[in-house]
Amino acid sequence: MSTFYITTAIDYINGLPHIGTAYEKITADCIARAKRLLGYDVRFCMGTDEHSINVKKKATDEGLEPQAYCDRMVPLFEEIWKNLHISYDDFIRTTDTRHKVAVTELFRRSMAKGDIYTADYKGWYCEGCEAFIQEKDLVDGKCPNHMKVPSWIEETNYFFRLSKYGEPLLKHIRANPDFIRPETRRNEIVRLIESGLDDISVSRSGFDWGIPVPGDSGHVIYVWFDALTNYISSLGFGGNDDAEFRKYWPADVHIVGKDITRFHCVIWPAMLMSCGVEVPKSVFGHGFIYHSGEKMSKSLGNIVSPLDIVGKFGADPLRYFFLREVVNGQDGDFTFERFIDRYNSDLANDLGNLVSRTVAMIHKYCGGTLPLYTRPSGGRLYEYFLELSKKWKKEIEWYNLSGACQSVMDYVKEANKYIEENAPWNLAKDPKRTGELAGILCDLSTVIVNSARLLYPFIPESSNKIWRAFGYTGDIGDSFIKNEYGVSLQVPVDTYIQNIGPIFPRIESDNVIKMSENINKNKKEEKNYVEADILQFPDFMKVDIRVGTVTAAERVEKSDKLLRLFVDDGMGGRKILAGIAQHYMPEELAGKQVLFVANLKPRRMMGEISEGMVLAAVHGEGLNVIVPDGDVPPGTKVS
């Protein structure tokens, strides 16, 4: 049996999934289920990315150790995925021992190859991206993904010789045109590599939340080097039992968002090349889901939780909306209005009506049991199905999920037309035409079970309900026998068809409008706060004010406002440029204690970096630096 290994990105764990992150898992789940139907031995892996700076911060805010925080979050993630019927085979956590073993092994191999060396790093780091960012990529001094000013970092780090892999990567991409999909993403990546790759820092110093660099516990391995390895640690790479690694690697496809495609198409394959491990067969970079045209974010208050929708309508309507509405690879937009329209027109009207009308007629005219009818092979709907199954397979192989879904829904529409054209209610009035009536009901039942099977990757719960109502048992996914794909199923005669009632009751728009109003209300309230310049408590808690002792002070040349203060901050010392030259002589400050903001983004002033801000009371023309009442050890936190 051919294997098929599919993965999604592993999510940062410092916030719960929203419909955007859920979209990715739904897409991958649909592919995994379809491949299982096509007879593949599928392995589908997801997980959580736990060693990020933001996790450490969030845990600290909540008074927890990072590990305890992650242990509390993981079941919440798994619960959400279970509710969306995501059928993963493995859930890897970057804090799992098996993962740490694999990351250490990979780092060691790359070191042994001579691809890792130490050097000083000076530059910007965006904590949202968990990535080093170049000055040229900043927009108005901010990271374009997170619209936040990154932190300035100066530290001795381990570097990976990414620059060495530019040519081998280009060669690989050219020789394997399907390595990066869709084509737009491939072109972006090729341009990126052609513009020249720099070596990248693969460690951070001064952190203890992460996997230590082998042989140097003063550094932890950079979170992306760590996280990317999940795709092989899940298979036991570097451990005692790597049978699954040998069976499933290289992965058939990594499904990831467009924002992180470059990590997967540049850094990850280069790491693997360095370690002598095969690279994945392909990376698919999907688009982003927006909400009413806007990026979802906490600050806008427009985040839609998958549970809000699943709790009210079930998982299938949301899965269907994304898989049918969004062209895989392109961006998509979620609005409650579009969601309800799509549901009512496709699921309630087309599929729901086909099933309920057919079941009702079998009950009304045949007592609920499918009549005996031997149809000569062929017929319009039969021919349609043969074409459909070829098309469906092709679309699935291209991960064109909306195309595959649409082709089945067209078949459903065709069957509804067939009912109108043949008007079984007229045939039922004429006892001489019961044979014809039986044929039509059998044809419709055939369309229904075949559609249920092909729609199973999209709406598994509803498909199974239909499947079982038509006399089949178990889960569609388990019922498939290899090579049966493309064979039109016939519901056996004498099968009792259960009257299951409407599977997709129409959604009344009132319900949805209320949900949408709630989200908009959140958004407005959030905006009001922003307008009123009110600092949210969690934001206030981020400000780290500390006591420092000025060890030396001097004027900054060519500035009549700035003094250069050297401050003992209890953390090795820092330099702060303070705008107090018109109020203090440098010699007045030496030995004085001050309060300063310790976690302010370093700023460039008069050509040099200032690492913080001294607090002062400003009154009219006067200014007094604020000093603690009594001597306090440098570095003491102010709260």
> Where along the sequence are the contacts to ligand MSP (CB under 6 A)?
9-12, 20-21, 23-24, 49, 227-228, 230, 256-257, 259-260, 288-289, 296
Helix axes 166-175, 183-194, angle to 10 degrees: 150
Q: Are 21 and 11 in contact (CB under 8 A)?
A: yes
CB nearer to ligand MSP: pick between 50 and 569 = 50
The identity of residue 331, as a single letter, is D
Rounded to a whole number, what is the largest CA-CA distance in the chain? 113
Q: Minimum distance from CB of 330 to ligand MSP (Å)? A: 11
User: What minimum distance in Å lies between the beta carbon of 326 and ligand MSP?
Assistant: 9
Treating both helix axes as pointing N-terminal to C-terminal, what angle do 53-61 and 66-83 enclose, rounded to 10 degrees?
A: 100
Least distance (Å) between residue 265 CB and ligand MSP = 12
Q: 19 or 447, CB closer to ligand MSP?
A: 19
| Cβ nearer to ligand MSP, comparing 257 with 548 | 257
Rounded to a whole number of angstroms, the minimum distance from the CB of residue 469 to ligand MSP is 34
**Which residue lies nearer to ligand MSP by CB, 96 or 436?**
96
Q: Minimal CB distance to ligand MSP: which residue?
A: 257
- Min dist. Cβ of residue 52 to ligand MSP (A): 7
Q: Which is nearer to ligand MSP, 227 or 251 (CB)?
A: 227
DSSP 304-345: --HHHHHHHH-HHHHHHHHHHHSPTTS-EEE-HHHHHHHIII
Q: CA-to-CA distance for 578 and 553, rounded, in angstroms?
A: 10
333 - beta bridge partners?
A: 290
Q: Which is nearer to ligand MSP, 226 or 395 (CB)?
A: 226
Quick check: 613 and 595 in contact, CB under 8 A?
no
Phi, psi (rounded to 5 degrees) for 41: -85, 100
> Which among 323, 228, 322, 210 has a CA at the least distance from the CA of 271?
228
Angle between helix axes 19-37 and 306-313 (nearest 10 degrees) is 60
Q: How far is the CB of 155 from ligand MSP (least distance, A)?
A: 22
Tokens of 487: 């064979």
- Shortest gap between Cβ of 288 and ligand MSP (angstroms)? 4
**Torsional sign, CA 403, 45, 82, 128:** negative
Q: How far is the CB of 231 from ligand MSP (least distance, A)?
A: 7
Token readout for 19 is 């419909």
**Nearer to ligand MSP by C-beta: 227 or 489?**
227
The Cα–Cα gap between 33 and 53 comes to: 35
What distance, in Å, lies between the first and last C-alpha atoms of the chain?
63
Query: Based on CB atoms, which residue is closest to ligand MSP, 230 or 358?
Result: 230
